Amino acid sequence: MIRPTTIISVNWRSQTACHFDGYYDQARDKERTKFLLPDDSDLGAQLNSIDKETGVKEIRSFFNGIMAGRELLLCFFCLGPTHSIFSIPCVQITDSPYVAHSEIILYRSGYEEFKRAGASPKFFRFLHSEGRLENAVSVDIEKRRVYIDLEEELVYSVNTQYAGNTVGLKKLALRLGINRADQENWLAEHMFVMGARGPNDRITYFTGAFPSACGKTSTSMLPGQTIVGDDIAYFRKINGQVRTVNVEKGIFGIIQDVNPTDDPLIYQALTKSCEVIFSNVLYDSNLKPFWLGMGCEYPAAGINHSGKWKKGDKDAAGSEIPVSHKNARYCLHIKDLDNMDPNMDDPDGVPVGGLIYGGRDSDTCVPVEQAYNWSEGIIIKGATLESETTAATLGAEGVRKFNLMSNLDFVSIPLGRYIQNNLDFADGVVDPPAVFSVNYFLKDKNGKYLNGMMDKLVWILWAELRVNGDVEALKTPTGFIPQYEDLTPLFKEKLNKSYTQQDYINQFTIRIPELKAKFDRIEKIYQEQVSDTPAILFDAFNQVRQRLQTARQNHGDYISPFDLY
């Protein structure tokens, strides 16, 4: 198979760049991403690790002589706003222009931050090499390694170009951030930060953790609202208040299905004259990019992640090669989005009004629900987060995949301690943020979605009203849900849509059997796989079961929300 080269500064727009990873280097290598641990350390069975001495010896042997004859790029960055209590200086050493260019877009310049920190700053370090190349693509995939040294706050990455393995300041730095936050009593989370507009242009800031394909980007980019960041947030307690920052200043997102209808703000930025890096899309003869779900007709031929491509081409395994890779990406500055929040770079961050945990299931959780309090929010909403697979993507429909706070792949401390840190974070906070769950994927018995694609705007704006005490709510065994009379004006005003009582019943019926099964399923995971699970989690699960049983005795298995008035 012909392997493609990297194209820089193509002519479709003057500031566009395109990058191609190798055909078999298109995702995070979870198996070979490992923590380097000393003999006396143990992160638990859930987290992938290797003996530090063995791992360092191996990966340094791969690095030996690898930069010979190449240009080394030494880059200084800052995670979080500069001149801030949130600031973490970082150094990236790489031979990849793609990695350096991506991080220049995604992160704030850190050179002045190093000068401010003095002679011995505590900083994160990242060492990367593409390795041996053919046609500008890494070829020694069997020697691909991503090793993380928490003691040294150092990440090694070699023989790979895919951003999830190489753009160190993103998810690799998140692992370092979680470890440092554990030591310093703050939080590093896999969350967006957005501003929701309430009455009289009031802005309430929300953070949100959503597993892949659960609506994270579309929620952070809701029309009429503002965006601070779409991926990673740091949290600190400042003067008795929870405040947060976007670690980044850019967005590195999946481009599939970005089109004028579903993601108008992102689509507008991608198609206007601003700096963008596209990766693993298709280029036609005019060097114009195309991607899956773009909403237009595709060319019959071009260049993509497989090399020279034409419709109907197949790979070595006999699979048809799509127009672009389903994991194709874009990288752009948030400043080029029309909805950028004006406080994005505030060194004090923004105050957090609410946390949102977004899962995906077809038959259990209501579209939006508020936890009783911070503790129940962390346990009942965050620590039970699941994402339901579909036959179209993974070949097995309806399989629930557990993903603790949407951070399971990146936690770098024992999972029980991670949960306890989140619980303890509210200590000393005068008014802890409200915690919500959302689920946009409920279906009826015929498999039809009960939520419209834009209904999420109403659920978020209802949460904004709740945070500010503007509306009452109905108490369920697992939290508070909206009253019908508060949703109808939101649907009419924001979506010009009638919202019937039957819509309300269909969406907000409390499903006792399915909820009970969920908590049984999640509890088993903690019992069998997380040895240091805090006892408070099991206590909370038992309390929920008791409330579910009482509700069942009073109302039956399926409870209309009108029965709760």
155 and 195 assigned to the same domain: no
Of 135-149, 472-486, 490-504, the one with minimum mean pLDDT is 135-149
Task: State the pLDDT at residue 487.
Answer: 98
Give domain status of residue 565, yes or no: no
Residue 11 lies in a domain: no
Say whether pLDDT at 447 is over 70.
Answer: yes
Asked whether residue 240 is domain-assigned, the answer is yes
pLDDT digits (tens, 9 = 90+) for 76-97: 999 999 999 999 999 999 999 9
Provide the percentage of residues in the chain whose pLDDT is more than 70. Answer: 95
Same domain, 392 and 442: yes
Give the pLDDT band (50/70/90) at residue 424. Answer: very high
Same domain? 387 vs 244: yes
Residue ranges of alpha helices (H) inside 381-511 are: 391-394, 415-424, 455-467, 484-495, 501-508
5, pLDDT greater than 70: no
Coil, strand or helix at 415: helix
With contact defined as beta carbons under 8 Å apart, do 397 and 389 qualify? yes
Q: How high is the pLDDT of residue 528?
A: 94
| Whether residue 452 is found in the same domain as residue 548 | yes
d(CA 38, CA 49): 10
User: Using H for helix, E for strand and C for coil, what is the string for 247-271?
Assistant: CCCEEEEECCCCCCCCCHHHHHHHC
> Same domain, yes or no, for 330 and 352?
no
CA distances from 59 to 54, 166, 288, 415 (A): 9, 15, 39, 27
Mean pLDDT of the 39-56 span: 83
Residues 227 and 261 in one domain: no
Q: Considering the domain boundaries, does residue 17 fall inside one?
A: no
Mean pLDDT check: name the lowest of 264-273, 351-360, 542-551: 264-273
Statement: residue 20 has pLDDT above 90:
no
Last residue of a domain, one of 282, 308, 334: 334
Q: Averaged over 501-518, what is the pLDDT?
A: 98
pLDDT digits (tens, 9 = 90+) for 204-220: 999 999 998 899 988 99
Q: Which of 170-174, 296-300, 309-313, 397-401 has the lowest mean pLDDT?
A: 397-401
Looking up residue 490, the CATH number of its domain turns out to be 3.90.228.20
Q: What is the pLDDT of residues 353-409, one digit of tens each?
A: 999 999 999 999 999 999 999 999 999 999 999 998 754 444 466 689 999 999 999
Has residue 13 got a pLDDT over 70?
no
Greatest mean pLDDT among 155-169, 278-292, 462-476 lies in 462-476
Please give the pLDDT value at position 43. Answer: 73
300 by Cβ neighbours in 10 Å (0-12 / 13-18 / 19+) ranks as exposed
* Residue 230: closest CA among 99, 106, 377: 106
Q: Among 120-124, 471-475, 516-520, whose mean pLDDT is lowest?
A: 120-124
pLDDT for 525 equals 96
State the alpha helices, DSSP H only, in 90-170.
97-106, 111-117, 163-166
Is 114 a residue whose pLDDT tops 70?
Answer: yes
Range(s) of the domain holding residue 543: 189-248+345-555
**87 versus 27: which is more confidently predicted?**
87
pLDDT at site 397? 61
**Region 258-280: what's the mean pLDDT?**
88
**How many domains does the chain contain in total?**
3
- Mean pLDDT, residues 418-439 taken together: 97
The catalytic residue positions are 214
Q: Is residue 329 located within the same domain as residue 351?
A: no
Angle at 127 between CA 121 and CA 133, to 5 degrees: 160
Residue 175 lies in a domain: no
pLDDT digits (tens, 9 = 90+) for 511-524: 999 999 999 999 99
Question: What percent helix, strand, coil does the chain show, rounded to 5?
Answer: 30, 25, 45
Mean pLDDT score of the chain: 92
Of the three residues 334, 357, 381, the one that is the final residue of a domain is 334
- Residue range 497-512: mean pLDDT, rounded: 98
Indicate which CATH number applies to the domain containing 326.
2.170.8.10
Does residue 53 sit in the same domain as residue 149? yes
The stretch 528-553 carries a mean pLDDT of 97
Q: Is 6 within the bounds of a domain?
A: no
Residue 275 lies in a domain: yes
Residues 146 and 287 in one domain: no
Among 300, 334, 368, the domain-final residue is: 334
In the chain the first and final C-alpha atoms are separated, in Å, by 64
Same domain assignment for residues 232 and 318: no
Portion of the chain with pLDDT greater than 90, in percent: 77
pLDDT over 70 (residue 10): no
Select from 499, 482, 492 the least CA-distant residue to 562: 482
Residue 182 in domain: no
- Residue with the two structure tokens 């008791």: 546
Q: Within this chain, do residues 358 and 418 fall inside the same structural domain, yes or no?
A: yes
Both 372 and 458 in a single domain?
yes
3-state secondary structure of 16: strand
CATH number, domain containing residue 41: 3.40.449.10
* Higher pLDDT among residues 26 and 202, named by residue: 202
